[in-house]
Structure 1
Amino acid sequence: MYLTRFRVNTARREARQLLGSPHRMHGAVNMSFPQSPSSDGAGPRLLWRVDHNSRAECFLFLVSPSRPDLTHLVEQAGWPAADQPGWQTYEYGGFLSALSEGGTWAFRLTANPVHNVRLKEGQPTKRTAHRTPRHQAQWLLSRQKEAGFEVVEKPVERRLLEHGDDHELIVRDHRDLQFGKAMNDGGRRQNVSLTRATYDGRLRVTDAVALRRTLTHGLGKAKAYGCGLMTLAPVR
C-alpha cells in the first residue's frame, strides 16, 4: 500500500475545474495507474481526498495498492517547471502494520454521511444525507466500533454544551455537490448529487485489524468521489 500527497495549484484554471467536479477528479486519479485499481470491495482499493487547508493551500491525498504516477496532474494542475516532482509517495504498509490497540491518533476523514429512510409505509427506502453537524457526527460515532476505533471522549470540564459535545470531534466543511457523469453508452449524462463532510478529531485504536481495513478500504459511500479516506497523524 502507498500513501501519496499532491499539492494542487489553485491558481490554474484546469486545477479549479478538477476541484469543482468529483467526477473529473475521479478520472484524473484513475489515470495515475496503468490499470485502474479494483473497486469490487474484495481487496484494498484506491481512495482519494481533497483537503482545502486555506484558499491557496490545497492537497490531494491518495491511498492505493500500487505506486501512482501523477505526472499528468503536475502538468494539468501543478507546477510543471518546478524543481521538485510535485508529489510525494510513501510506503504505507509499515505504518499500518505498526498500529496497535490502545494507540491514540489525530485523524481526518471526508465522508458521505447518509442513511436509508422510508418516507411512506410500503415504499422502498431511499438514501438520504444527514444535514446537521450533530447527525453527521452521530453517523461516524455509530460506525466507530466496527471500524476498529473509538473517538476519544472529552473530560466533563471541557465540554461546552450539555449534550452533543462529548467527543474530541469537529464536523466541518459541509458541501452539497452536484455534477454530471457520462453514462456507459457514451450519449446520455447522469446528474449526481452527494453530500460531503470532513471530520477532524482524536481516536483510540480498539481493533487494529479492523482499523487497517478502514484505512485501506474506506468508510461509507461515494468512495469514487473523494469520500471514505481516513488518515492518521501523531497527536500533538
Structure 2
Amino acid sequence: MYLTRFRINTARIGARRLLSTPQVLHAAVMSSFAEVPTQAGERARVLWRIDHNNKADVVLYIVSPDRPDLTHLVEQAGWPTTARWETFDYTRFLKRLTIGDTWAFRLTANPVHSIRRKDGEPTKRTAHLTPHHQMRWLLDRQDASGFAILEKPAERRLLPEGDTYELVVRDQRSLSFAKAGQGSSRGSRVKLTTVTFDGRLRVTDPDAFRRVLAMGLGKAKAYGCGLMTLAPVR
C-alpha cells in the first residue's frame, strides 16, 4: 500500500477544472495508474481526499495498492519545475500499529442513514445534516472499525452535554454533479453531503483499523470520501 500527497496549484486553470466536481478528480486519480489496481485478482479500492486547508493550500491524498504516477497532475495543476508529489510506503506504517496507540486523525465522509417515510415503502438513503447526528454516525462505527475516539477531561468540556469527545465536525459541503457519460439530465445526477472530522483516537483493534485505513469508511468512496489519515498527537 502507498500513501501519496500532492499539493494543488489553485492559481492554474487546470486546477480549477480538476476541483470542479468529484467525478473529474476521480478520473484524474485513476489515470495515475498504468493498469487498473488489483488485489487477489480483483479490482482494488483506491481512496482519495481533498483537504482545503485555505484558499492557497489545497492538498490531494491518495491511498492505493500500487504506486501512482501524478505527472499529468503536475503538468495540469501543479508546479512542474519546482514541486512534484510525495509517495510513502504505507504498508510498513500500517504494520506498526498496535493496541493503545493514540493519533490525531482527519476523515472526510458521507454520513448517511436509511429511512422509510411510510410503512411498506422501500428505505431511502438520506444524509445526516446536523453536526450532532454526523458525529453520532462516526461514533456508532468506531467499535467495529478498531478505534475509540478519545473523551475530553471533564475540566475541558465547555458544555454540560454534547462536548464529550475530542472531535470536531466541519466543512459541510452539498455536492451535485452529473454522472460520467450521462450528460446533465436531472435523473442522472449524483447528490451527496460531505463533512470533515478532525479528532483524536486510540487504536483498539489493529487489524480492523488497518482495514479502515486501507479500504475506507462509509459511502461515496469514489467521490473523495472515506479516507482517514493520521498524525502524531501533539
Q: CA deviation at 1:37?
A: 2.6
**Aligned twin of 1:118:** 116
The 2-side partners of 1:111 and 1:38 are apart by: 24
- Please list every run of 5 or more consecutive structure 2 residues that lacks an aligned counterpart in the other structure: none
C-alpha change, 1:38 and 1:175, in structure 2 (3 Å) is farther
**Deviation sequence 1:75-114 (CA, Å, 0-9, x none):** 11111232x3x10000111110000000100000000000
The 1-side partners of 2:130 and 2:20 are apart by: 23
1:138 and 2:136 matched = yes
**Aligned twin of 1:93:** 91
**Aligned twin of 2:159:** 161
C-alpha change, 1:34 and 1:215, in structure 2 (3 Å) is same
Identify the match of residue 219 of structure 2 among 218, 221, 224. Answer: 221
The 1-side partners of 2:106 and 2:74 are apart by: 25
**Deviation sequence 1:28-70 (CA, Å, 0-9, x none):** 0000001233599x78521000001111001000000000000
What aligned pairs does 1:62-73 form with structure 2 within 5 A after superposition?
A: 62-73=62-73
Q: CA deviation at 1:182?
A: 2.3
Moved more, 44-53 or 140-149: 44-53
**Aligned twin of 2:24:** 24
Identify the match of residue 178 of structure 1 among 166, 170, 176. Answer: 176
**Aligned twin of 2:56:** 56
What letter matches 1:24 in structure 2?
V
**Aligned twin of 2:3:** 3
**Aligned twin of 1:235:** 233
The 2-side partners of 1:16 and 1:111 are apart by: 22
The 2-side partners of 1:19 and 1:112 are apart by: 18
The runs of at least 4 aligned residues of structure 1 exceeding 6 Å deviation read none
TM, length-normalised to structure 1:
0.94
The 2-side partners of 1:104 and 1:212 are apart by: 14
Q: CA deviation at 1:187?
A: 6.8
Aligned residues: 231
Structure 2 counterpart SS, 1:197? strand
What letter matches 2:193 in structure 1?
T
Percent identical residues: 62
C-alpha change, 1:39 and 1:135, in structure 2 (3 Å) is farther
- Please list every run of 5 or more consecutive structure 1 residues that lacks an aligned counterpart in the other structure: none
Cα root mean square deviation, aligned: 1.7
Q: CA deviation at 1:188?
A: 7.5
What aligned pairs does 1:190-229 form with structure 2 within 5 A after superposition?
A: 190-229=188-227
TM, length-normalised to structure 2:
0.94
Structure 1 counterpart SS, 2:54? coil
